[in-house]
Structure 1
Amino acid sequence: MTVAFHESPVIYDAIIIGAGVMGATTALFLARAGLKVALVDRQDMFRAASGVNAGTLTLHMTRAQLIPHAIRGREMWLNSAEWLGEDVGALATPGLSMAFTEAEEDLLRQRASVRQNMGAPIEVISAEKAVSIEPGVNPRLRAAAYCALDGHIPTYRVGGAYARALKEAGITLIENAPVESISSVRGQGHEIRLTGHARAIHGRRVVLSTGAWLEKMLGWFGHDISIRCLINQLVVTETLPPVMGSVLSIANGLLSLKQFANGSVLIGGGWQGEGNIRDGGTRVIPENLQGNVRLAQHVVPRLNEAQILRVWLGLESETPDAMPLIGALTPDDDAFVVGCVHSGFTSGPYMGRLLAERILGADPDLSAFNPSRFSPSSATRAQL
């Protein structure tokens, strides 16, 4: 008589869905605390927003309420060797946000004031002082806001560093596996079915960290939250002699500039491309590309001499109130979310660490990021 033995499924303490900065950081801190962790992604890790963003570490372009988190996230990037295991090349530089019109100067002063109140060391300086700091900027500016705590990262180095850290921590990495469904299993947390995998995986806890893909998954847990997907265009130039040493932006937020060690200049600022995550594929909008480059050339005239090498598009997710989602999705504390952080690369590792601390039993203040704030019952309570 042949006896059939059925292999028991592996049950993870936590399954993190979405292998970008926030998801991977959450996974890393949970695994180092002794949990058995799996990290799942619909494609290769760090191929979505975390892998194609501009790598700017900035307080000028961070929402005021998130300034304390961005400061701590920036510190983590600059000290990545201590917690990630290797230096990812984060460079600390000053940041200048500039105003060229009266309206821009008014906006600049307003933005600087609210960020100062949240702890950002930002001061408004004269045009003359700004030009003395960055001689390459257009001297026709009216004023600038200066911040000593900016910087940038060559993002192509980050994914590899995380991959090595995850492996050392014993995390199971499952790539190119879109999630088809998540089902609650009594006493065992959740069963997750993946495209291309015959068997489901099981986790006592699940963490959603899928950025622009969050909306559908949040619905599986009863949260009806609209997630907007921004398709930001980024431009990189040929290598140039030094033209800037700071991270440069303008008051209205439509430009960010930085020069890397190899001389290439990265031009960003949220100018939009086309496409959507449902149909797949993204496309450059030529008029927006031209507008972004011309604005960069206005701010730093020497960029008129630069040739564009390539253009790419990165995804950014945003909630209706443009504030992050971080916290529990269920009363049983067996499902969580982390994502939709504006200028999220700066704050990303700190946000991931905060959620890991919450899952491990600490009580960090995540009240402003609670996903239940979008539920009808929360809206009713807020009116009472």
Structure 2
Amino acid sequence: MEQEVDVAVIGAGAMGATAALWLARGGMRTALIDRGEICREASGVNAGTLTLHMTRAALIPYAMKGRELWLDAQRWLGRDVGARSAPGFSLAFTEAEEEMLFKRADARSAMGAPIRIVTPEEVRAIEPGINPAVRAAAFCALDGHVTAYLTGRAYRAALTEAGVSLLEGHGVEGIEVSDAGYVIRPAGAPALRARRLVLAGGVWLETMLAWLGFHVRIKCLVNQLVVTERMRPVMRSVVGIANGLLSLKQFENGTVLIGGGWQGKGDPVRGGVEPIPDNLIGNIQLARHAIPALGETRVVRIWLGLESETADAMPMIGPLPGLAEAYVIGCVHSGYTSAPYMGHLLAERILGREPELPLFDPARLMKPAPAKLEETA
């Protein structure tokens, strides 16, 4: 028997789940559909870094709002997701990195990020474990991290309490467009009729948008991540390098997470397939260069997380051109930091309210193809 709802959100990552939560709290009958489980694909396996150093300058105001929401998750989400505030550094060890550091710090601070350049002496006074060879650093008091794998449980409880209909483990096979809205056909479940539609698929948006006849290229990054054994405290900051190839944090249990966008093998269909050994070694060597004490510990686990990027490296958040009440959200650079805020912004737009900050018109990236009533992924 078909279910009828006011809005169907396809994609249960942090952005889709947040949008669904606030739409339901705003009085809409809401369904959230995903081929897997809530926040268990890209949103469940990323580094969970809350940082302004790696956020594009234009997205700084959104990231600052998102960080505040993560740290306040107990209030609006109802569960602790391991969000912790921590100072953050972006380091420069070479002249080229130093030049890059100054330029990027200026751009981000101009957009409101409380980032300032500090001397090597100031760096080591705050974080003694950093390599004395550091030439300069950008410092931000507003960084931190989230324990990504805790978010799915928190969102599921909040969504259930808000009355959202959860369809986990049901990939969408097609969507029909009609005058009354949209008919979504989840695999292994009855069709769903919705007056409104939200596509929230990250790297899978290229396929999802094709269901509605849109063609837009989404780049898929396959980021390698590493976690170490537990070790003595060697850092209390979120540490990166100006070139963007390192992200380090130590959790309360003593493990250290090493990231930085070094690529592995994979794609949106197969997910992360396998790491690339040379990239893995390079990432770990860079981490040990930044924090020499990491040479005392060993790698416990390696995994891969997918990240999406549009042609202009800016998000798609807003209504789809030429379709009534159809929306898209995704492809936010360093998107985990701003994810809950982005989801809330789109929900406000769908509920007929004026969003606090502007959305990112997807029409700039796509043109609707001739109408096609049904597509199969």
Q: What TM-score does the superposition give when structure 1 sets the normalisation length?
A: 0.93
Note the aligned Cα RMSD (angstroms): 1.4
* Corresponding residue for residue 286 of structure 1: 277
Do 1:18 and 1:209's aligned partners in 2 also have CA atoms closer than 8 Å? yes
Aligned partner of 2:160 among 167, 174, 180: 167
* Corresponding residue for residue 215 of structure 1: 206
Aligned partner of 1:20 among 13, 19, 26: 13
Work out the CA distance in 2 between the residues paired with 1:262 and 1:117: 36
Do 2:234 and 2:293's aligned partners in 1 also have CA atoms closer than 8 Å? yes
Work out the CA distance in 2 between the residues paired with 1:333 and 1:91: 40
1:153 aligns with 2:161: no
What amino acid is the match of 1:48?
E
In structure 2, the residue corresponding to 1:151 is in which secondary structure?
strand
In structure 1, the residue corresponding to 2:53 is in which secondary structure?
coil
Aligned partner of 2:286 among 288, 295, 315: 295
Work out the CA distance in 2 between the residues paired with 1:375 and 1:206: 18
* Corresponding residue for residue 233 of structure 2: 242
* Corresponding residue for residue 133 of structure 1: 126
Aligned partner of 2:26 among 24, 27, 33: 33
Identity, % of aligned pairs? 58
Runs of 4+ in 1 over 3 A off after TM superposition: 330-333, 365-368
Work out the CA distance in 1 between the residues paired with 2:366 and 2:151: 36
Work out the CA distance in 2 between the residues paired with 1:116 and 1:329: 32
* Corresponding residue for residue 249 of structure 2: 258
Q: How does 1:172-187 map to 2 (within 5 A)?
A: 172-187=165-180
Aligned partner of 1:73 among 66, 74, 90: 66
* Corresponding residue for residue 196 of structure 1: 188
Bigger Rg over Cα: 1
Work out the CA distance in 2 between the residues paired with 1:353 and 1:368: 11
Work out the CA distance in 1 between the residues paired with 2:304 and 2:350: 33
What amino acid is the match of 1:261?
E
Work out the CA distance in 2 between the residues paired with 1:323 and 1:292: 26
Structure 1: state its 5+ residue gaps: 1-6, 378-384
Work out the CA distance in 2 between the residues paired with 1:249 and 1:315: 20
Q: CA deviation at 1:194?
A: 1.5
* Corresponding residue for residue 308 of structure 1: 299
In structure 2, the residue corresponding to 1:88 is in which secondary structure?
coil
* Corresponding residue for residue 47 of structure 1: 40
Name which of structure 1's ranges 206-215 and 270-279 shifts more when overlaid on structure 2.
270-279
* Corresponding residue for residue 381 of structure 1: none
Work out the CA distance in 1 between the residues paired with 2:269 and 2:45: 19
Do 1:221 and 1:330's aligned partners in 2 also have CA atoms closer than 8 Å? no
Q: CA deviation at 1:157?
A: 1.4
Structure 2: state its 5+ residue gaps: 369-377
1:142 aligns with 2:141: no
Deviation string 1:99-122 (CA, Å, 9 cap, x unpaired) is: 000000000000000001000000
Q: CA deviation at 1:219?
A: 2.4
Work out the CA distance in 2 between the residues paired with 1:24 and 1:134: 36
1:88 aligns with 2:81: yes
In structure 2, the residue corresponding to 1:205 is in which secondary structure?
strand
What amino acid is the match of 1:354?
L
Work out the CA distance in 2 between the residues paired with 1:35 and 1:161: 21
* Corresponding residue for residue 225 of structure 1: 216
What amino acid is the match of 1:353?
H
Do 2:237 and 2:249's aligned partners in 1 also have CA atoms closer than 8 Å? yes
* Corresponding residue for residue 104 of structure 1: 97
* Corresponding residue for residue 372 of structure 1: 363
In structure 2, the residue corresponding to 1:71 is in which secondary structure?
helix
Q: CA deviation at 1:225?
A: 1.1
Work out the CA distance in 1 between the residues paired with 2:208 and 2:298: 42
